[in-house]
Amino acid sequence: MIKKIQNIIDKKNKSKIVCLTAYSKNIAKILDKYCDIVLVGDSMANVLYGLKDTHKISMKNIIQHSKSVKMGIIKSLLVVDMPKGTYPNIETAKKNAKQIIKITKCDAVKIESNNKNFNIITELVKSNIPVMGHIGYTPQFKKKFKIEGNTVKKAKKLLKEALQIEKAGAFCIVLECLAPIASQLISKKLKIPTIGIGSSNYCDGQILVTDDMLGLSGFYPKFVKKYASLNRIIEKAVKKYTSEVKLVKFPTRKYFLNE
CATH of the domain at 84: 3.20.20.60
How much is the mean pLDDT over the chain?
96
Per-residue pLDDT averaged across 147-154, rounded? 97
Check pLDDT > 90 for residue 220.
no
Check pLDDT > 90 for residue 258.
no
User: Residue 2: what pLDDT?
Assistant: 85
State how far the alpha carbon of 83 is from the alpha carbons of 14, 35, 120, 162, 210, in Å: 32, 23, 15, 21, 19
| Domain co-membership, 74 together with 148 | yes
| Domain co-membership, 119 together with 43 | yes
In tens, the pLDDT along 230-241 reads 999 999 999 999
Per-residue pLDDT averaged across 135-140, rounded? 97
The SS3 call for residue 157 is helix
User: Residue 204: what pLDDT?
Assistant: 98
* 110 in Cβ contact with 157 (< 8 Å): no
Per-residue pLDDT averaged across 162-168, rounded? 98
Residue 145 pLDDT level (bands cut at 50, 70, 90): confident
Burial of 58 (0-12, 13-18, 19+ CB in 10 A): middle
| Domain co-membership, 205 together with 258 | no
User: Residue 219: what pLDDT?
Assistant: 87
| Domain co-membership, 59 together with 145 | yes
pTM assigned to the model: 0.96
* 183 in Cβ contact with 158 (< 8 Å): no
| Residue 92: Cβ within 10 Å count | 13
| Domain co-membership, 190 together with 235 | no
Q: Is 77 left (phi over 0), alpha (psi -120 to 50) or beta?
A: beta
The SS3 call for residue 80 is strand
Phi, psi of 99 (to 5 degrees): -65, -45
| Domain co-membership, 224 together with 238 | no
Closest listed residue to residue 149, CA positions, set 187, 192, 116: 187
The SS3 call for residue 241 is helix
| Domain co-membership, 257 together with 174 | no
In tens, the pLDDT along 28-71 reads 999 999 999 999 999 999 999 999 999 999 999 999 999 999 99
User: Residue 1: what pLDDT?
Assistant: 65
* 37 in Cβ contact with 208 (< 8 Å): no
| Domain co-membership, 237 together with 117 | no
How many folded domains does the chain comprise?
Answer: 2
| Domain co-membership, 14 together with 78 | yes
* 82 in Cβ contact with 96 (< 8 Å): yes
Residue 143 pLDDT level (bands cut at 50, 70, 90): confident
| Domain co-membership, 156 together with 254 | no
| Domain co-membership, 56 together with 67 | yes
Rounded to 10 deg, the angle between the 118-126 and 90-104 helix axes is 50
| Domain co-membership, 97 together with 168 | yes
Share of the chain above pLDDT 70, in %: 99
Per-residue pLDDT averaged across 72-90, rounded? 98
Check pLDDT > 80 for residue 259.
no
| Active-site pick, 112, 166, 176, 244 | 176
Domain span at residue 96 reads 2-228
Per-residue pLDDT averaged across 75-103, rounded? 98
Active site residue 112: no
